[in-house]
Amino acid sequence: MDRRSFIDSVFSLVVGAAGGKHLLPLAHPSLVTVSKVNPHYFALSNGQPFVVNGLNLAWAHGLDDMAGYLKKLSAAGGNFARVWLCHWPLEVENRYGIYDEENARNIDFLLTSASDCKIRIKFCLENTRQIVSDPHAPFNRPQYHIDNGGPFRNIDEYINSPQGRSIYLNRLTFLSNRYREHPAIFGWELWNEMNGIQCGGLDEWNGYMLPRVQELFPQHLVMQSLGSFDSPGRRREYRNITSLPSNAIGQIHRYLDEGAQLDVCKGPLDLLAADAIEELRSYQLHKPLLLAETGAVRPSHAGPSDLYAMDKAGMMLHDMLFAPFFSGAAGSGNPWHWEEYIDKYGLWYHFGRFGAIVNGINVIAEEFQPEKDRQDRLRLYVLRGTNTTLIWCRDSRNDWRSELQAGIAPETVSGAVVNCSGWVSPQQIKEVTCYDPWVGQWRNIEPAGRLLLPDFRRSVVIKINKN
């Protein structure tokens, strides 16, 4: 059966006498929520912890390509993807005020694919930065422009008028009638990097809109996003948006960008990713934190980084995934450049290597406290928990500048010793294992206050189980 026939056969099950309630049989019926026990992490509605492990898949050349990416992610062990609903063929309002049932069926197909793969989708609803009549202008809703039969002359009128707010909510009402209880949906993100819009009134818009979208999707998480935290001026915007009670998640975007104002954005990827989460933690937020976009770009976001072509081992991707979680995030970092980097060089297996660390760990019960240390040549990222302590050991002599720019192969680190007595008493140690994410192998090591590590390159993870 081809994709269109499949969609048509499925659609008859989706919307019926239940008034739009989704009736599809689903592989994962539990919804993702914020844990009531430990609000720094996610939980499923059945109480089990949910650790985000995934990436941005904002768009693809077609739905079959998108479904293929989901299968690759799932096969590697991932469980999460962010998709833009404002991108063809998922945009349901390609004509002002008219909602496209065929594109809604495309969403049905995507959600069925996600459900089959046990992946949760975070839907980003909007990316508009201008409203002009030119249909080829980027980040635009030309159907909303007055010259094309819409009500607005510019983006300011869309943001700062009661009519604009109603039109935004009308589109979401259509989506709510179909998907408000769909468990394959992680949540709804109101806008991609909304501070990229050049108009006033954004704070007021978010304060108004977040709780109203939550009313439309009472079973799902609702959140907002801002542009890359690459300058000191971003701090006020980030503190304001993440502190809103109606914003369920503290999200941050940050890239390796040699054109950024902040020096941390030009250095090792583990440090820039960790610093992003530490920035959010400084706001004292009692909610899950995510590095929701990350990657490497040409200066000032002029395109994907040229470093990708040299990083066929995925050393940058490894840091993007591991550093946020070991700094207190509720999951992996979520990289961009799925096509130009991750898929092109066959790097999907890195999601499985991250999953090997978190699988079987009850992050809710552990109440992890993140700490950092430096011992000899190792940067240590520590999650000190109730029953388990995890330590990600990153070789400080290896980063993108040494391995990719200078062409220096990562050294084998031999005889490294980690003193863990500051985080766990030697008398409490029951078992110590060590995971090498570059070969995908666990090994037992001798329990002690000073842990002798096996030989490794780039990084290794220590897992300490207490009595």
124-135 average pLDDT score: 96
Q: How far is it between the farthest Cα atoms of the chain? A: 75
Pairing of strands 54-56, 80-84: parallel
pLDDT confidence of residue 288 = 98
Of 183, 182, 204, 202, whose CA–CA distance to 194 is shortest?
202
CATH number at residue 429: 2.60.40.1180
Kindly provide the residue ranges of all beta strands, DSSP E only, lying in 87-184, ordered along the sequence: 120-124
Could you tell me if 397 and 430 lie in one domain? yes
Could you tell me if 209 and 353 lie in one domain? yes
132-136 average pLDDT score: 95
CB–CB of 227/198 below 8 Å? no
Pairing of strands 417-419, 429-436: unpaired
Could you tell me if 105 and 214 lie in one domain? yes
CB–CB of 453/416 below 8 Å? yes
* pLDDT category of residue 28 using cuts at 50, 70 and 90: low
d(CA 186, CA 184): 6
pLDDT confidence of residue 460 = 98
pLDDT confidence of residue 187 = 98
319-326 average pLDDT score: 98
d(CA 294, CA 69): 18
Q: Is the pLDDT of residue 251 over 80?
A: yes
11-19 average pLDDT score: 32
Q: Is the pLDDT of residue 229 over 60?
A: yes
pLDDT confidence of residue 467 = 85
Tens of pLDDT, residues 29-60: 799 999 999 999 999 999 999 999 999 999 99
DSSP code for 140: B
Tokens 């990229």 correspond to 196
Query: 94 is in which domain, residue-wise?
Result: 3-365
Tens of pLDDT, residues 372-384: 999 999 999 999 9
Q: Is the pLDDT of residue 128 over 90?
A: yes
Could you tell me if 167 and 194 lie in one domain? yes
Identify the domain boundary among 334, 365, 396. Answer: 365
Could you tell me if 329 and 402 lie in one domain? no
pLDDT confidence of residue 117 = 97
Could you tell me if 273 and 309 lie in one domain? yes
Could you tell me if 225 and 341 lie in one domain? yes
d(CA 1, CA 22): 22
Secondary structure (DSSP) of 400-455: HIIIIIS-PPPPEE-S-EEE-TTTS-GGGEEEEEEEETTTTEEEEE--SSEEEPPP
CB–CB of 57/72 below 8 Å? no
d(CA 388, CA 66): 37
Residue 6, both tokens: 């499949």
- Mean predicted lDDT score pLDDT of the chain: 93
Could you tell me if 442 and 353 lie in one domain? no
Tens of pLDDT, residues 138-193: 999 999 999 999 999 999 999 999 999 999 999 999 999 999 999 999 999 999 99
Q: How many domains does the chain have?
A: 2
In a 13 Å sphere around the CA of 11, the CA atoms on its Cβ side amount to 13
Residue 81, both tokens: 């993807």
Could you tell me if 345 and 459 lie in one domain? no
Tens of pLDDT, residues 61-91: 899 999 999 999 999 999 999 999 998 899 9
Q: Which residues pair with 464 in a beta bridge?
A: 389, 432
Could you tell me if 375 and 360 lie in one domain? no
Q: Is the pLDDT of residue 17 over 50?
A: no
d(CA 120, CA 42): 12
Pairing of strands 42-44, 459-466: unpaired
CB–CB of 283/239 below 8 Å? yes
Q: Is the pLDDT of residue 16 over 90?
A: no
Could you tell me if 156 and 175 lie in one domain? yes
Residues above pLDDT 90, as percent of the chain: 93
Tens of pLDDT, residues 273-317: 999 999 999 999 999 999 999 999 999 999 999 999 999 999 999
Tokens 């090792």 correspond to 268
Identify the domain boundary among 341, 365, 389. Answer: 365
Q: Is the pLDDT of residue 461 over 90?
A: yes
Stretch among 19-23, 215-219, 234-238, 308-312 having the lowest mean pLDDT? 19-23
pLDDT confidence of residue 167 = 98
d(CA 380, CA 186): 31
Q: Please, what sign has the CA dihedral across residues 282, 205, 56, 267? A: negative
CATH number at residue 153: 3.20.20.80
Tens of pLDDT, residues 410-457: 999 999 999 999 999 999 999 999 999 999 999 999 999 999 999 999
Of 318, 333, 317, whose CA–CA distance to 280 is shortest?
333
Backbone angles phi, psi at 243, to 5 degrees: -85, -10
* pLDDT category of residue 19 using cuts at 50, 70 and 90: very low
Q: Is the pLDDT of residue 22 over 50?
A: no
* pLDDT category of residue 12 using cuts at 50, 70 and 90: very low
Could you tell me if 164 and 311 lie in one domain? yes
Identify the domain boundary among 365, 380, 414. Answer: 365
d(CA 458, CA 8): 49
d(CA 80, CA 117): 10
353-373 average pLDDT score: 97
